Chains A and B, each alone.
Chain A
């Protein structure tokens, strides 16, 4: 858990009753506001639990200090500003077995942002892939 602005219960979500309603119905909140955040939902499994514990909250924790990971019963909920990346070669080493980017996709339950694979890396980014930047093929990597 974290008190980071990306937390599940941050901002307006921390408010209740009339206080929540006042902000929810405020004039400035009647249109969408651009966000550079990304959200990732990982279904709990042996592999995902280890990737969360050992990589995202372990070795790679400093890669993106905005990353928040929360336990939502059947899944891990992740939110970060910018991007979240998982290197499946690194995961394979920690898991002690072959683990490709397609094995990782087995338990990726939802993405809000532009998610893609390149080689053995899974990325979800706030960038508009295909518009701001081209999606790369393996040989250009």
Chain B
């Protein structure tokens, strides 16, 4: 009877290498190589303009048994700590209230990123032709499932054992009210799973994971610990133990295309687009979360960024690849300016738009203002004076009848949304690398904040159709939108979002917002 080529290959391999009875995992990995799996001519649903080499390696020589054993040990340690020691010492209630709010943003958003990374790495598994490269991507798919559960568990834990559950328990239901979710989905969803498969790998693995998971998942644990949070370090450092393999996958993606002519044509543009896409959101949002969402400061965000993004990712990953034609991202100068100022710009807008969020924000105290001025000279004259004015007008108190959004309107500082990143910006106030530019397309005006997003939009305008909140809710009153889109707590009237974390402070309700008569209008109509 004729046998298939695969069966013959297996039989031949077994004839040469008899099935061992007791070997270590690395020997099993070597043995598996001899099966001569051939995916070279496989068709894929997810093509790429690059040719991925068929002999690309996976750096950690994983086999399924060792993978499963490693991950089960990680889970035992994580859940054991959480459910035994940390619960017994009431860790959830020892977290500083400001940081408790910050984790509503970080853990919920990371969960979405991990979820989309499941699809992204499944796609890469389908696109690659090297057996070892596929093996690395497949393990990553399993990792991303684990991470999605871990992030969900952080919010579950904070909800069950911590303080102020609203926003931890079901943040997703508020996703269409404010602008933060949409920007996050641009980097964590669209950037990872839409378009050319290798471009997605560059976004997810070479930039998102090799660069930004270090501040997002590693450095964040220092801020957490400093602010009384022992839960986040326990979970996030466990998540990151898988990320090193993901970074290696991203590097091996580049290795696999290094000898392809397409790499010399496209790689630097794709890398720059990915870097800008990821930094445009991560840089201001993480900086805001760390500095404005903490009571105890670890170091200025710009230093964290300079270490992990500029010196380490830039020098050790991208700089070393220079001799293979990889260039310093053209957008780096603007990214560095953003790392210094954009998180301050964003907090100004986030606080002004606080009713559209799913977390509580706090104005900087006098002590914090001094810290900001010391580390960002010029901060007080630009931002500090505004916060003092808002505080003097009673912005934290519902009886004041004032939310800072009104200040922007009174002082003619229009807020726009960047079409590509979905990040809001105020051209007349920002100190980051944002300036207003407008393009009309299909009868619709589109606003942009920077050269790099504008260039991406000009080459693919149909990709960036997402409606922003000003377009979506134009003509509608704010409290009506918040109520309809689930922005209230379980009593049905108190907002999830609040402009303070004072447990004795009065909470804003739908009636308080309704009394302001804030009606959405689209600022592009005036352009």
Given the known inter-chain contacts A25-B336, A139-B30, please indicate yes or no for A17 contacting B377, CB distance below 8 A. yes
Residue pair A39, B312 in contact (C-beta under 8 Å): yes
Interface of A is mostly: mixed
Q: Is B15 an interface residue (CB 8 A)?
A: no
Q: Is B29 an interface residue (CB 8 A)?
A: yes
In the complex, 21 of the A-B residue pairs with CB atoms within 8 angstroms, ordered by the A residue number, are A17-B377, A24-B306, A31-B332, A33-B315, A34-B315, A37-B316, A38-B316, A73-B221, A74-B234, A100-B25, A100-B66, A101-B26, A102-B70, A108-B241, A110-B213, A110-B217, A110-B244, A112-B247, A115-B244, A116-B61, A134-B57
Q: Is A97 an interface residue (CB 8 A)?
A: no
User: How does the 8 Å CB contact mask read for B30-70 relative to A, with 1 for contact and 0 for none?
Assistant: 10010000000000000000000000110111000010011
Given the known inter-chain contacts A100-B24, A114-B251, please indicate yes or no for A137 contacting B241, CB distance below 8 A. no
Interface of B is mostly: helix
Within 252-277 of B, Cβ neighbours of A (below 8 Å) are at 252, 255, 258
Q: Interface of B with A (CB < 8 Å)?
A: 24-27, 29-30, 33, 56-57, 59-61, 66, 69-70, 73-74, 77, 210, 213-214, 217-218, 221-222, 225-226, 233-234, 237-238, 240-241, 243-244, 247-248, 251-252, 255, 258, 302-303, 306-307, 310-322, 324, 328-329, 332-333, 336-337, 340, 374-375, 377
Residue pair A113, B233 in contact (C-beta under 8 Å): no
Given the known inter-chain contacts A102-B66, A130-B252, please indicate yes or no for A110 contacting B30, CB distance below 8 A. no
Residue of A73, A110, A114 touching B243 (CB-CB under 8 A): A110
B149 vs chain A, min Cβ distance (A): 18
In the complex, what distance in Å separates the CA atom of A21 from the CA atom of B336?
11
Residues of A contacting B240 with CB < 8 Å?
41, 43, 109-110
Residue pair A24, B27 in contact (C-beta under 8 Å): no
Residues of B contacting A33 with CB < 8 Å?
314-315, 319
Residues of A contacting B56 with CB < 8 Å?
130
Residues of A contacting B226 with CB < 8 Å?
73
Query: Which of A29, A72, A105, A108 gathers the greatest number of chain B CB atoms within 10 Å?
Result: A105
Residue of B57, B77, B336 touching A24 (CB-CB under 8 A): B336
Residue of B25, B66, B375 touching A17 (CB-CB under 8 A): B375
Residue pair A111, B24 in contact (C-beta under 8 Å): no
Residues of A contacting B310 with CB < 8 Å?
29, 32
Residue of A18, A39, A105 touching B60 (CB-CB under 8 A): A105
Residues of A contacting B306 with CB < 8 Å?
12-13, 24
Give the residue name and chain of the B residue nearest to A39 (CB). Answer: B312
Q: What's the interface size class on A, roughly? A: 35 or more
Within 1-41 of A, Cβ neighbours of B (below 8 Å) are at 8, 12-13, 16-18, 20-21, 24-25, 29-39, 41
Residue of A21, A75, A110, A129 touching B59 (CB-CB under 8 A): A129
B323 vs chain A, min Cβ distance (A): 8
In the complex, what distance in Å separates the CA atom of A37 from the CA atom of B332?
21
Q: Interface of A with B (CB < 8 Å)?
A: 8, 12-13, 16-18, 20-21, 24-25, 29-39, 41, 43, 45, 72-75, 100-103, 105-120, 126, 128-131, 134-135, 137-139
Residues of B contacting A20 with CB < 8 Å?
302-303, 375
Query: Which of B59, B210, B221, B252 gathers the greatest number of chain A CB atoms within 10 Å?
Result: B59
Residues of B contacting A39 with CB < 8 Å?
312, 316
Residue of B70, B217, B320, B322 touching A106 (CB-CB under 8 A): B70
Residues of B contacting A35 with CB < 8 Å?
311-312, 315-316, 319-320
In the complex, what distance in Å separates the CA atom of A32 from the CA atom of B335?
12
Residue of B77, B222, B247, B377 touching A73 (CB-CB under 8 A): B222
B397 vs chain A, min Cβ distance (A): 34
Contacts A17-B375, A25-B336, A105-B60 supplied; 12 other A-B pairs, CB < 8 Å: A13-B303, A30-B336, A31-B332, A32-B319, A35-B311, A43-B237, A75-B218, A75-B221, A100-B66, A106-B73, A109-B243, A131-B324
A54 vs chain B, min Cβ distance (A): 21
Given the known inter-chain contacts A13-B306, A116-B60, A137-B33, please indicate yes or no for A30 contacting B333, CB distance below 8 A. yes
Query: Which of B217, B225, B311, B332 gathers the greatest number of chain A CB atoms within 10 Å?
Result: B311
Residues of B contacting A135 with CB < 8 Å?
57, 59
In the complex, what distance in Å separates the CA atom of A52 from the CA atom of B217?
22
Residue pair A102, B25 in contact (C-beta under 8 Å): yes
Residues of A contacting B238 with CB < 8 Å?
43
Give the residue name and chain of the A residue nearest to B59 (CB). Answer: A116
Residue pair B307, A13 in contact (C-beta under 8 Å): yes
Given the known inter-chain contacts A74-B225, A131-B258, please indicate yes or no for A109 contacting B237, CB distance below 8 A. yes
Give the residue name and chain of the A residue nearest to B226 (CB). Answer: A73
In the complex, what distance in Å separates the CA atom of A139 from the CA atom of B316?
29
Query: Which of B26, B66, B218 gathers the greatest number of chain A CB atoms within 10 Å?
Result: B26
Residues of B contacting A100 with CB < 8 Å?
24-25, 66
Residues of B contacting A13 with CB < 8 Å?
303, 306-307
State the 8 A-B residue pairs at the shortest beta-carbon distance, nearest first: A35-B315, A32-B314, A74-B233, A34-B319, A116-B59, A73-B225, A130-B255, A31-B328
In the complex, what distance in Å separates the CA atom of A39 from the CA atom of B314?
13
Residues of B contacting A38 with CB < 8 Å?
316
Residue pair B312, A112 in contact (C-beta under 8 Å): yes
Residues of A contacting B374 with CB < 8 Å?
16-17
